[in-house]
Structure 1
């Protein structure tokens, strides 16, 4: 395929011609001497060489030499040189033009090379920064071909990952022959050319091991830049793969830690009600000497501890469902007062003799939310409030609309939460110092509440005061629709 000359190339030839013509006219009008004319023509040749290159500077030197001979060397207006002095002047001008043109051309090329090296360094730096932003191997592999093509202005880029036998390309179709050639490239660090497709391919080497290959078209990158690109890509892919593997290992270790914590917590919490149930049941089986009041008391112990055991198992199952992402939000139009009334009724056993106050902002228009999920959040928060607050103390439930949110609060009169515990209070199995000291709770309730709120598109926070207790505030996006309340 023949390349068409660029318009800029024509302009350079035209500029050299005009420069020689205008210089000749200017010197002729000013009646310049031969010595002056020769120096001026030499300057024109040097300037042309620095701007347009050696070939055009030679063309300019030829035009200037013809003009110099015809208009300024005797005899004037002829191409005949009168004597030795004129021959010396012409030869001096010709040699000076050639030497000056070569020097100027060399300086121009050195400048271009310096600029090219600077651009290459900037592009390599940009490539490294963009690759560092990817910490997952899949994302880096997916985006890398387009990234290299964009930064280095390439027509197409193909990436081959050896361990996955995976090809990722900026074009849709790759020939089987090209794929085979790219696979062979991973056998060493040498350049492989898939001539039938016009690609240049390099192995991605990390140390002495090849992790894949990369190819691009057209093959217009310098050897140094191509080597640097393949080295950076290989290192970045290895780094992302290592980070991903480390994250999987860390997640596995965290999962093991959480499972161990769950087993320890459940073992401890389940053992207490089981011990009470077993003791009461054993006493009941040995019924001799027990009056009706004692039997009723033991039966009550079995009933209460069974309920506690059921609640513990329910929390464990609930946490497992949240971890498995099987929770589905099903919003329905509800009044917030109905939600609060239901939450109090559902938690009446845990509330005991606590005084419960409901504060609902009016008008209490219908809003869309999952009442079942929010009831579970209220249940956990109300049970915690009743558990840690003094008997017969006040517990306040609030609802209001604030800045596009449907906001709820549960306020208790307990001992509050230590500031060091607040950043961790919603983590699974975390129990604050005061809760652990009292031996209450499993460390799952608040984690469950937050997971439910996040699934609902909201969140939960806590404010604490040692003198007035805690206020848990949670919210969901406010969605109101006109509904026939017939």
Structure 2
């Protein structure tokens, strides 16, 4: 957070503090006048001007420079307590002090003002960055929600399809068997082989439906972080064979050829879940 270097003083308070500070400094230095030289006094006055310019502003520093100039002449340059400067060297020193104090005060105030402007620009850039970041986050949230809804729709369609397929087969087989039973022996249409075939379809599709439901339960456990892996040392061919056994009802008319490297190492994993991943 940017610090206010003017301490929130009013204009009158800043001028009063500046003048009071230089007057008190003159009084203290005048008390020790016999122990310090004019060069030390000039350096202290310049320090006061620099301090005022930094913390109270340019105009109070200009006023302090003028007061310091008068005090330097009246109290510290011979003949003291007069406005006359008898020594030309002291006149040059007084003039240089006056010019230096004014320049130092103005430069210090200018540096302070530029620092405040730079800090203000920094705050504006930070605020702009925060606004842009907030806008991007909102846009990202909106896009994430849109994609989430799209994914939910696709997932619902897939689940509906996977549920409808075995249910349709089961329904058709049961309906056929019931119709055949309803017709009676005199209108017998299905022989034992056909009936066994329909019963096999019902059994297979029921197993398929049960596997699908178990898969959904496992998926819910994974999302909830409650899936417990039963890791054991297993052979890769056994895992592949387990997956083929699961898919056997749908591979009756297909020829599957498995090609594996010899002497494959054992893997430590949940073989059942890996088989489910394969099918």
Q: Give the shorter-chain TM-score range.
A: 0.5 to 0.7
Tell whether 2:30 aligns with 1:28.
yes
2:230 corresponds to which residue? none
Residues 5-35 of structure 1 deviation map (CA, whole Å, 9 limit, x = unaligned) = 9852354333322320221122111113322
Match of 1:106 among 104, 110, 131: 110
Match of 1:258 among 135, 159, 171: 159
Task: Give me the whole-angstrom Cα distance separating, in 2, the residues matched to 1:116 and 1:95.
Answer: 31
Task: Give me the whole-angstrom Cα distance separating, in 2, the residues matched to 1:284 and 1:69.
Answer: 137
Match of 2:60 among 56, 60, 85: 56
Match of 2:20 among 10, 18, 21: 18
Match of 2:82 among 71, 78, 85: 78
**Is the contact between residue 62 and residue 106 of structure 2 (CA under 8 Å) also seen in structure 1?**
no
Q: Where do 1:200-349 residues align within 5 Å?
A: 229=131, 231-232=132-133, 235-284=136-185, 286=187
- Helix, strand or coil: the match of 2:9? helix
Task: Give me the whole-angstrom Cα distance separating, in 1, the residues matched to 2:176 and 2:220.
Answer: 29
Tell whether 2:100 aligns with 1:96.
yes
Task: Give me the whole-angstrom Cα distance separating, in 2, the residues matched to 1:6 and 1:100.
Answer: 21
Query: 1:273: how far off?
Result: 2.1
Task: Give me the whole-angstrom Cα distance separating, in 1, the residues matched to 2:134 and 2:22.
Answer: 51
Query: 1:118: how far off?
Result: 4.9
Task: Give me the whole-angstrom Cα distance separating, in 1, the residues matched to 2:62 and 2:83.
Answer: 19
Gaps of 5+ in 1: 128-228, 288-297, 299-304, 313-383, 389-417, 428-432, 440-465, 467-486
Compared CA separation, residues 65 and 267, structure 1 to 2 (3 A)? same
Task: Give me the whole-angstrom Cα distance separating, in 2, the residues matched to 1:111 and 1:263.
Answer: 72
Q: CA RMSD for the aligned pairs?
A: 4.4
Query: 1:438: how far off?
Result: 11
1:423 corresponds to which residue? 218
Task: Give me the whole-angstrom Cα distance separating, in 1, the residues matched to 2:220 and 2:134.
Answer: 42
TM-score, structure 2 normalization: 0.57
- Helix, strand or coil: the match of 2:91? helix
Gaps of 5+ in 2: 1-5, 189-194, 223-241, 249-271, 273-279
**Is the contact between residue 62 and residue 102 of structure 2 (CA under 8 Å) also seen in structure 1?**
yes
Give the number of the structure whose residues are more often strand, by fraction.
1
Compared CA separation, residues 89 and 261, structure 1 to 2 (3 A)? same
Query: 1:422: how far off?
Result: 6.2
Compared CA separation, residues 438 and 280, structure 1 to 2 (3 A)? farther
Task: Give me the whole-angstrom Cα distance separating, in 2, the residues matched to 1:105 and 1:425.
Answer: 67
Residues 364-402 of structure 1 deviation map (CA, whole Å, 9 limit, x = unaligned) = xxxxxxxxxxxxxxxxxxxx9xxx9xxxxxxxxxxxxxx
Residues 153-184 of structure 1 deviation map (CA, whole Å, 9 limit, x = unaligned) = xxxxxxxxxxxxxxxxxxxxxxxxxxxxxxxx
Compared CA separation, residues 96 and 270, structure 1 to 2 (3 A)? same
With CA pairs under 8 Å and 6+ residues apart, which has the higher RCO, 1 or 2?
Answer: 2
TM-score, structure 1 normalization: 0.35
Give the number of the structure whose residues are more often helix, by fraction.
2
